[in-house]
Every structure is written in C-alpha cells, then in structure tokens.
Amino acid sequence: MRAALEQARLAADAGEVPVGAVLVLDGEIIGHGYNQPISACDPTAHAEIMALRRAGQRLGNYRLPGSTLYVTLEPCVMCSGAILHARVGRLVYGACDPKTGAQGSVLDLFGEFTGKVARLNHHCVVTRGVLAAECGALLSAFFASRRAQPRSET
C-alpha cells in the first residue's frame, strides 16, 4: 500500500485526484498507475486501469490471476469491472469512497449474489481499510487545497 500511496502523491503533484494503485504478483510489482483522466483527457485513466494496463502489457496477457491490486481508494464500478475481467485474485484498498465506491460503500459489485448463488463468473477477495487514515488524509488535503484556491471566472 505504501507503493500505491507514492503513486497517489504523483497524481496530486500532477493536479489529479490523488489515487494510486500497484499490482503485485509473486511479491513483485508488475503494474503501477495513478489517476490521469484530466491530463490524458481520458475518463478511463483511473489509477487501477493504468496499473492493469501496464501489467497486461508487461505479461502479454490481459488476464492476471493470482495477482493482488493495492489501491488507495475504493474502486468505482468501471474499475471493479476491469478488476473482474482481469481475474485479479485479491483487492486491497485504503479509503472508502462514499460517493462512487463499488465494494460496499455505494454498491457491492463483488458481493453480487442471488440467494446463495454467485452471479458473476469471477470473484475477488477484498481487504478494506488498509492505511485508510493515510489514504484519506491525502485525498482530504488535496481537496482542501483546491477549495482554498481562487476560482477563475469563465
């Protein structure tokens, strides 16, 4: 998670919402990323997507079974879908996202069941709240500094 926090700091330095992610397989970081939707003009350039893309390119396969994704903020629906499609084995996240979190805060995509039957073809083990205070503080500081800046009139 510390490596994901470093990625989040890179996002903040670039003026992006400070979310970072690293994907680990067999104890080695195989993909990393930070939020870049503003600079890339790409709504899909979330930290998780960037890390998954890099890992897939590195391994020559979009499927990443047995890997663990560490991310500083609870993934949204888009990122959760990508995590499922990549067959990531485990997700570890820091801060909860009460506005768009898809791992229990708003939705629980990985917990999709009908009765006792799982409705999705892949399931990912989720660990919540790792270094949550530190991850949340980074986000809070970023948004506090943005609110303190004078707004330009257009």
pLDDT tens digit sequence for 61-107: 999 999 999 999 999 999 999 999 999 999 999 999 999 999 989 98
pTM of the model: 0.90
Is 48 catalytic? The answer is: yes
Instruction: Report whether pLDDT(115) > 60.
Output: no
Helix (H, G, I), strand (E, B) or coil at 107: coil
Q: Which two tokens stand for residue 67?
A: 């890997």
Instruction: Report whether pLDDT(118) > 80.
Output: no
Among the listed residues 16, 48, 134, 153, the single catalytic one is 48
Alpha helices in the chain (DSSP H): 2-13, 37-40, 47-59, 77-85, 132-148
CA distance 37 to 40: 5
